Amino acid sequence: MKEKKINKEEVRYIAHLARLELSKEEEEKFSRQLREILAYVDKLKEVDTRSVAPTSHVFTLKNIFRKDERKDSLPVEEVLRNAPQQRRTQFQVPRVIE
C-alpha cells in the first residue's frame, strides 16, 4: 500500500478542526512529524489481518450496563470552579450564534 503523504494543507485543516493556531514553522514541523508517524503506523499494514475482525479495544467484555438510577450530581459551586468566567451559575463564553 502506498504511504499517505501529509502536506501542509492537511496540517492546516486538522489544526483548524482542533482549534489550534500554528505558525509557519510549526506547520512545517508537524507535517514532517505526522508523515513520520504515519509511516511508522504503516508498518502495521505488513501484518496479514484478513482473518481478524476489527477491534476497538482489547477486552472481550460486552453488554456492560448500569441501572437507570439517579445519583447525586456535583454541587454547582464545584461544577463552576474551573470556569474562567461564569454568570448566574452558567458558564460564560464568547457569543456563539448563527
Partner 1 sequence: MNYEVSIGLEVHVELLTKSKLFCGCSTRFGASPNSQTCPVCLGLPGVLPVINKKAVEYTLSTALALNCKASNFSRFARKNYYYPDLPKNYQISQYEEPLARQGYLEFELEGKLRKVEIERVHLEEDAGKLIHGEATENIEEKDMSFVDYNRTGIPLMEIVTFPVISSPEEAYQYLVNLKKIPKYLKVSDCNMEEGSLRCDANISLAPKGEKRGTKAELKNMNSFKEIREGLTSEIKRQSHLLDKGKRIIQETRLWDNKKKKTYPMRSKEWAHDYRYFPEPDLLPLEIEEKWIEELKAKLPELPQTRCQRFIREYSLPPYDAGVLTDSKELADYFEECLKSFPQPKQVSNWIMGEFLRLLKEENITVEEVKVSPTQLGKLLKYLKKGTISGKLAKVIFEEMFKTGRKAKEIIKLQGLKQITNEKSLRKVIDEVLEQTPQAVSDFKKGKGKALGYLVGEVMKKTKGKANPGLVNKLLKEKLSIL
Query: Which of 32, 37, 42, 89 touches partner 1 (CB under 8 A)?
Result: 89
Kindly state whether residue 84 participates in binding partner 1, applying the rule CB under 8 A: no
# residues near partner 1 by CB under 8 A: 35
C-alpha–C-alpha distance, residues 60 and 62, integer Å: 7
With CA atoms as reference, report the closest residue to 42 among 6, 1, 10. 1
Q: How far is the CB of 75 from partner 1 (least distance, A)?
A: 9
Which residue, 44 or 64, is less far from partner 1 as judged by CB?
64
Kindly state whether residue 94 participates in binding partner 1, applying the rule CB under 8 A: yes
Within 15-74, which residues bind partner 1 (CB under 8 A)?
17-19, 56-57, 59, 61-74
Largest CA distance in the chain: 58
CB atoms within 10 A of CB 27: 16
DSSP reduced 3-state for 46: helix
C-alpha–C-alpha distance, residues 38 and 50, integer Å: 21
Q: Which residues bind partner 1 (CB under 8 A)?
A: 17-19, 56-57, 59, 61-74, 76, 79-80, 87-98
